[in-house]
Structure 1
Amino acid sequence: MGGKLSLSWKTPVQKESEDKQILPRQLDDEDEIRDYASISDSAMSCVGTACRSYVNCPTCQGTGRIPGEQEKQLVALIPYGDQRLKPRRTKLYVCLAVTTCLLTTSLSIFFLFPRSITVLPAGLNASSVGFNATTTSIYLNMTNVLNITNNNFYPVAVVQLDIEVLHQSLVVGKSTMKALLNMSPLQSGQIFYMVVSRIVDDNTYNICTWTKVKVHNVLLHIQGTLTCTYLCHSEQLAFEDYQYVDCRGNATLPRPSYHRLP
């Protein structure tokens, strides 16, 4: 018992020395905390004196701050493995776009490319003949047929037809017709036109009136110009034909066949 009491019992002088060793350490920690708080408070006050507004930094999850005027200069970083950075079927879309453009252009050129309009004289359809013995002249009224073929993929309108009839290099008749025909794409049509001719020639008059002559034909050279419009464009097509017309007397006989000289 004497040993135990000697260990737990201490003199007042020893207790004071122990208290002096413990209290300074506690005071030192409190002083450090107080000093840190004073430093942080002074930093806050310095920042406050700068008169600048601050916002929480999104990239730091609110732990950092930047000047308010730099808020719109923030840049969002995307991870390299993000799916938004990986193209999805870009090559397929580019190929489809290029193919569509090429196909559309090719079809437009194919369908809108101007093709020829075929004009083919079909010969004499009917004729009537008159004579004037005083002037030895022949009045010849002819109705001819003109075949027209539209080889385009758009409609064509025939707006005017100009005809000249020549006999022995002399113009004996003229005719002009307007607003004749509207043709659909890849369609054909016919135009019937009439020309009144007056031939003043003694030899021709004798050939047509003599009964001893078995063949009463007059060779006429027909020249024409056909004006067509399509796609806000006007085009003139020239044609010519040679016809043998029976001038023995009045006749209204269809003659689909005709003789054409080279």
Structure 2
Amino acid sequence: MGGKISQFWKTSAQKESEGKLILPGQLDAEDEIANYASINGGDSATPGMLGAGILRRSYVNCPTCQGTGRIPREQEEQLVALIPYGDQRLKPRRTKLYVCLAVTICLLMTSLSIFFLFPRSITVLPAGLNASSIGFDVNTTSIYLNMTNVLNITNSNFYLVTAVQLDIEVLHQSLVVGKTSVKTLLNVSPLQSGQIYYMVASIISDDNTYNICTWTKVRVHNVLLHLQGTLTCTYLCHSEQVAFEDYQYVDCRGNATLPHALYRRPP
């Protein structure tokens, strides 16, 4: 009987000691759960309620703190704030709108820049003879011909074009009888036209041509001349040469070609 009583008292003492060992462990576990919940959920709920809610659910250990829920004080500055995946701050509503608007504006600006800055043709068109003077040399049967011609320049670009130099050659029967080079600074405004006056002195040394121009029995005294030229233009720090040519009939009987009103021949 005494053995049974001692065994009962022993069992009660063991139970008490086991309870003392279990309670601190439970308190520590609840404390760790409360601390872990306070880190992730804030101070809106009490530690007991959070611990009870977490214990009812399945949970996994913190992968960054080795399951203890605590970190050393020296690592306090290394904490990283975690935002839930469903947070609205990660899903801005107008991101696609802003991106599409920025891309549209960039494409529009690029298209406009290409449209206005793309080089277009510079049209150079001879406007014909404006005036001429004739001289004859009986000893050498040569004809001295001075011509003043007009050149039309059309700028089809949306920026200023400057004509800086004009080179002209006059040919008679495939022979160069005169040439000139004119330095000019003609500014042609965007989508506008301009004119250049240039004079060429030619010497024609041909007996047949001399006879045609001096014989009174011949009613028509015309000389066919072939003009070839190159106009150098600059725009947007770029230089371009535009070539042109023209055929002209010049009255070589006398100074019959006087200055006249300018006109533009159709292309």
Q: Is this a same-fold pair by TM over 0.5?
A: yes
Q: CA deviation at 1:107?
A: 0.7
Given the two structures, how large is their TM-score scaled by the length of structure 2?
0.71
Q: CA deviation at 1:258?
A: 9.3
Alpha-carbon distance change, 120 to 195 in structure 1, aligned in 2, over 3 angstroms = same
Alignment partners' CA distance in 2, 1:189 and 1:259: 15
Letter in 1 for 2:73: G
Q: Of 173, 176, 188, which residue of structure 2 is paired with 1:171?
A: 176
Alpha-carbon distance change, 259 to 242 in structure 1, aligned in 2, over 3 angstroms = farther
Describe the superposition over 1:194-231 as per-residue Cα deviations: whole angstroms up to 9, x where unpaired. 00001111111111111111111000000001111111
Q: CA deviation at 1:91?
A: 1.2
Alignment partners' CA distance in 1, 2:70 and 2:185: 86
Describe the superposition over 1:35-74 as per-residue Cα deviations: whole angstroms up to 9, x where unpaired. x9xxxxxxxxxxxxxxxxxxxxx83879986323322321
Aligned residues: 210
**Structure 2 residue aligned with 1:130:** 135
The percentage of aligned residue pairs carrying the same residue is: 81
In our comparison, the structure showing a higher alpha carbon Rg is: 1
**Structure 2 residue aligned with 1:106:** 111
> Is the 2:251–2:257 contact (alpha carbons within 8 Å) kept by the matching residues of 1?
no
**Structure 1 residue aligned with 2:39:** 59
Which aligned segments of 4 or more residues in structure 1 are displaced greater than 4 angstroms?
60-65, 255-260
> Is the 1:244–1:259 contact (alpha carbons within 8 Å) kept by the matching residues of 2?
no
> Is the 1:243–1:259 contact (alpha carbons within 8 Å) kept by the matching residues of 2?
no
Alpha-carbon distance change, 259 to 94 in structure 1, aligned in 2, over 3 angstroms = closer
Q: Of 72, 75, 82, which residue of structure 1 is paired with 2:77?
A: 72
**Structure 2 residue aligned with 1:241:** 246
Alpha-carbon distance change, 78 to 257 in structure 1, aligned in 2, over 3 angstroms = closer
Does residue 195 of the first structure (1) align with residue 200 of the second (2)? Answer: yes
Q: Provide the secondary structure at the position in 2 that maps to 1:153.
A: coil
Alpha-carbon distance change, 252 to 68 in structure 1, aligned in 2, over 3 angstroms = farther
**Structure 1 residue aligned with 2:164:** 159
- 67-76 or 107-116, larger mean C-alpha shift: 67-76
Q: Which runs of 5+ in 1 are unaligned?
A: 1-27, 37-57
Alignment partners' CA distance in 1, 2:119 and 2:265: 31
Q: CA deviation at 1:192?
A: 0.6
Q: Which runs of 5+ in 2 are unaligned?
A: 1-15, 25-37, 48-68
Q: CA deviation at 1:105?
A: 1.1
Alignment partners' CA distance in 1, 2:218 and 2:163: 42
**Structure 1 residue aligned with 2:30:** none
Describe the superposition over 1:149-193 as per-residue Cα deviations: whole angstroms up to 9, x where unpaired. 000111111111000000111100010011331111111001111
Given the two structures, how large is their TM-score scaled by the length of structure 1?
0.72
Alignment partners' CA distance in 2, 1:160 and 1:231: 17
